[in-house]
Amino acid sequence: MTRLVILDRDGVVNQDSEDFIKSPEEFVPLPGSLEAIARLNAAGYSVAVASNQSGIARGLFSEATLETMHQKLHDLLEAVGGHIDGIFYCPHGPDDHCDCRKPEPGLLRQIGEHFGVDLAGVPVVGDSLRDLQSAMAVGAMPILVLTGKGEYTHRQLSNAPSLSATPVYADLAQAVDVLLAGALSGDAHEDHH
C-alpha cells in the first residue's frame, strides 16, 4: 500500500509571501524542508504537494512560470536525494467557486485518486486554517507547522473546536521527525498536543 504524506507548498516547503511567490527567484526553500522530504522518501513515503495558486487566476504569473518554480523544487530536492511524487495545484481564484481551492476537499481528493489511496489518516502538513480544514473534510490527519502563516493559524485554532487536537510542530523537519518516529498515527494524535 502506498504510504502518502501531503504537504502544502508556500509556508511549509518554501518561504511564503503576502505578495505571492511569482517567480523561481522568489521560490526559496525553508531551512530543513528539502532534507525532511528526502527523509520521508528514504522511509518509503510518497510525497505530494497540494497548493492553492490563485496567482494564476489573478494574472500574477503563468502556469509556465509555476512549472519553472516546480522544476527548481525538483532540482533542489534531487541535490539532497529527495523527490516529490506529485504536485497538485488549484489555479483558480476565490470567486471561481471551484472544488479544488482549499479549504474545499477537491485537491486532496485528486491526490487520493492519483495515488489510489484512501485519505483516512493520511498526514496533511499545512500552515493555514484552509489546509487543516481540507484535511478534515477528507478524513485525513491535519498537522500544523508554525512556519509561514502557522503562528497566526495556531492562534486561530482555539476558535475551531474541530481542529483543537491538531498536532503542532515548529516546522516540516520537526513534523517529519515525529512522523518517522512513529509517534504520529491517526488514533494516537490526541496525545501529541
For residue 69, tell me if it sits in a domain: yes
Per-chain mean pLDDT for the chain: 94
Within a domain: 192: no
| Catalytic residue selected from 10, 16, 127, 171 | 10
What pLDDT does 159 receive?
87
Within a domain: 158: yes
Number of domains in the chain: 1
Task: Tell me which residue range forms the domain holding 59.
Answer: 3-184
d(CA 89, CA 20): 14
| 131 beta partners | none
Question: How many Cβ atoms are within 10 Å of 74's Cβ, its own excluded?
Answer: 14
C-alpha span between 166 and 154 (Å, rounded): 10
pTM: 0.94
- pLDDT, residue 185, reads 53
Structure confidence at residue 184 (pLDDT): 64
Q: For residue 158, what pLDDT is reported? A: 85
Q: Is 8 a catalytic residue?
A: yes
146 in any annotated domain: yes
Domain contains 193: no
Q: Give the residues across from 97 on adjacent strands.
A: none
Residue 46 maps to a domain: yes
Identify the CATH number of the domain in which residue 78 sits. Answer: 3.40.50.1000
Sign of CA dihedral 62, 64, 65, 66: positive
Q: What are phi and psi of 17, to 5 degrees?
A: -145, 140
Residue 190 lies in a domain: no
* pLDDT under 50: residue ranges of the chain: 186-193
pLDDT of res. 43: 96
Place of cell 521560490: 27
Q: Is 171 an active-site residue?
A: no
Question: Which among 38, 66, 79 is positioned nearest to 172, based on CA atoms?
Answer: 38
- What stretch of H or E contains 141? strand 141-145
Is residue 174 included in any domain, yes or no? yes
Tens digits of residue pLDDT in 9-20: 999 999 999 999
Q: Which of 8, 16, 127, 131 is catalytic?
A: 8
